[in-house]
Amino acid sequence: MDFSSKLLENAVNEVSRLPGIGKRTALRLVLHLLKQPKEHTGYLSEALLHLRNDVKLCNKCHNISDTALCEICNNPKRDSEIVCVVEDIRDVMAIESTAQFKGLYHVLGGKISPIEGIGPHNLKIESLVEKVAKGEVKELIFALSSTMEGDTTNFYIFKQIEKYEITTSTIARGISVGDELEYADEVTLGRSIVNRIPFEQSIKS
């Protein structure tokens, strides 16, 4: 692309560094900002800078938080002995929106992925093992996505904590509520049969 303005070129280049945004989309976004009042760009830049410079991670669960201890960890009504291990804040938000979980979270900040150069030491695994070692945890629920990276991470953590006497579980994999059986993939359908649950239990939830 051949730009008539260095300022424009620079802005487009910076925006197109964001994931999933190419040069054309970046140009469209930047031209949109130019048509809006100047304050809009100001608010946007300020919000991004403010977030990047001032954001904190909760000391206990490592979730993004404005305070040293996040609202969930700080809530006395939640069961601090049940800990759900998730990848990032989006998973916390997804589980919270179900209103089915009353324990705390532990946000790893990613999954072990040798291809992307993410090893166990780039993740918040040590502090999780520490929590377990101190006897603060009674049950650990693994809720990472069921990919190779997710399974590897689950297994790595499991190996480190299996010597402690705690319950471990993973979230159930199976056919989505409302899905037709014939369109389900074989692995999911297979697991849903192997891990079937008593009928009485299913009608209660």
Residues of this chain that bind a second copy (CB under 8 A): 1-8, 10-11, 13-15, 17-21, 25, 27-34, 38, 40-55, 63-66, 70-72, 88-90, 92-93, 96-97
Least Å distance, CB 48 to a second copy, is 5
Least Å distance, CB 123 to a second copy, is 12
CB nearer to a second copy: give 8 or 184.
8
DSSP state of 96: H
Q: What share of the chain is helix, strand, coil (3-state, %, to 5)?
A: 45, 15, 40
Chain length of the chain: 205
Q: What DSSP line would sit under 13-67, residue for residue?
A: HHHTTSTT--HHHHHHHHHHHHHS-HHHHHHHHHHHHHHHHH-EE-TTT--EESS
Total Cβ atoms within 10 A of residue 202: 9
Least Å distance, CB 139 to a second copy, is 22
CB nearer to a second copy: give 64 or 184.
64
To which residue do tokens 């090893």 refer?
A: 119
Amino acid at 4: S
CB nearer to a second copy: give 52 or 204.
52
Q: Which residues contact 162 (CB under 8 A, 6 or more apart)?
A: none
CB nearer to a second copy: give 50 or 196.
50
Least Å distance, CB 143 to a second copy, is 16
CB nearer to a second copy: give 54 or 185.
54
Least Å distance, CB 22 to a second copy, is 12
